[in-house]
């Protein structure tokens, strides 16, 4: 069987922590090699050359982006295509709204309570600013708080609480599972 590689392109280190700890181990059940890369500080020509190389070696890739202020998923994908010419729109996953909403989505009620967070049933509208306000005062590091969430993260809970995670899991994980 051919050696299967997956490149996951992410915007920044907040995305990287989540994908490295939660999604990478799942993808490793299907792929022999999974690499997480950050694209926010890369030039567009570089990402395009990288995508060309990935295609040439017959590897897979996913590019994850926050929807931010874009009115809809299609327009966000359009924006990404304008920046990175060679990215296949089918390989783009759009986070609604920002990656911080995916963090909170993975907490069940008991863990939310343990971390002294209010229970949030749906995180589809949760922004970075709202997430920052949720950080309990006994955490003096935002990064530590995010890592602590990941220590008790549940994908099953997350897909119930955020539609874009549900879509991501359905499209990129369940459809490729052995």
Partner 1 sequence: MAIKKIRVSNFKSFKNMEVELSNFNVLIGSNASGKSNFVQIFRFIRNIINHGLDNAISMDAGSVEYLRNLKIGREENLELHISSDEKFGWFGSRTKKKGTIGIRTLEVLYDFAIAFNRNDNGFYIAHDELIHKCEFVMFEEQQKDFQENEAIGTGKIIYSRANGKFQIEIITEPQDIPLSRDDLFPSFFLDEKLEPKISLLQTPFFLIPPMRDIFKNIAIYDFDPKLPKKATSITGKAELEEDGNNLAIVLKNILDDKEKKRTLFNLVQNLLPFIKNLDVENYSDKSLLFNLQEKYSEKHFLPASLISDGTVNITALIVALYFEMKQMTVIEEPERNLHPYLIAKLIEMMKDASKHKQIIVTTHNPEVVKHAGLENILFVSRDKDGFSTISKPGDQEEVKTFLKNEIGIEELFVQNLLGI
Instruction: Extract the tokens encoding 99.
Output: 């990656």
Check whether the bond before 55 is cis (ω within 30° of 0).
no
Residue 6: in which H helix or E strand, if any?
strand 5-10
Q: Is 152 in the site for partner 1 (CB under 8 A)?
A: no
> Quick one: three-class SS letters along 162-178?
CHHHHHHHHHHHHCCCC
- Among the candidate windows 104-112, 116-124, 141-149, 159-167, which touches partner 1 by CB under 8 A? 141-149
Q: Is 148 in the site for partner 1 (CB under 8 A)?
A: yes
Shortest Å distance, C-beta 13 to partner 1: 4
Q: Is 16 in the site for partner 1 (CB under 8 A)?
A: yes
Of the two residues 80 and 96, which places its CB atom closer to partner 1 in the complex? 80
Of the two residues 59 and 147, which places its CB atom closer to partner 1 in the complex? 147
Q: Is 147 in the site for partner 1 (CB under 8 A)?
A: yes
Shortest Å distance, C-beta 100 to partner 1: 14
Q: Provide long-range contacts, Cβ within 8 A and 24+ apart, for 118-125.
A: 120/161, 121/161, 122/161, 122/162, 123/161, 123/162, 124/96, 124/97, 124/162, 124/163, 124/164, 125/97, 125/101
Interacting residues with partner 1 between 43 and 72 (CB under 8 A): 43-45
Number of residues that bind partner 1 (CB under 8 A): 19
Shortest Å distance, C-beta 18 to partner 1: 11
Q: Is 17 in the site for partner 1 (CB under 8 A)?
A: yes
Return the ∠ at Cα 124 (arms to 37 and 69), rounded to 5°: 65
């Amino acid at each position: 069987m051919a050696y299967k590689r997956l490149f996951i392109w992410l915007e920044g280190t907040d995305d990287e922590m989540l994908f490295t700890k939660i999604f990478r181990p799942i993808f490793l059940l299907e792929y022999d090699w999974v690499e997480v890369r950050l694209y926010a500080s890369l030039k567009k020509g570089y990402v395009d050359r990288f995508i060309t190389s990935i295609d040439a070696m017959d590897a897979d890739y996913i590019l994850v982006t926050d929807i931010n202020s874009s009115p809809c998923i299609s327009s966000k994908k359009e924006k990404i295509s304008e920046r990175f010419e060679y990215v296949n729109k089918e390989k783009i996953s759009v986070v609604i709204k920002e990656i911080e909403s995916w963090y909170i989505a993975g907490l069940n009620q008991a863990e939310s309570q343990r971390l002294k967070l209010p229970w949030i049933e749906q995180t589809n509208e949760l922004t970075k600013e709202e997430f920052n306000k949720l950080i309990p005062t006994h955490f003096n590091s935002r990064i530590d708080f995010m890592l602590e969430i990941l220590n008790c993260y549940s994908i099953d809970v997350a897909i119930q609480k955020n539609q874009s995670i549900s879509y991501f899991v359905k499209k990129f994980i369940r459809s490729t599972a052995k």
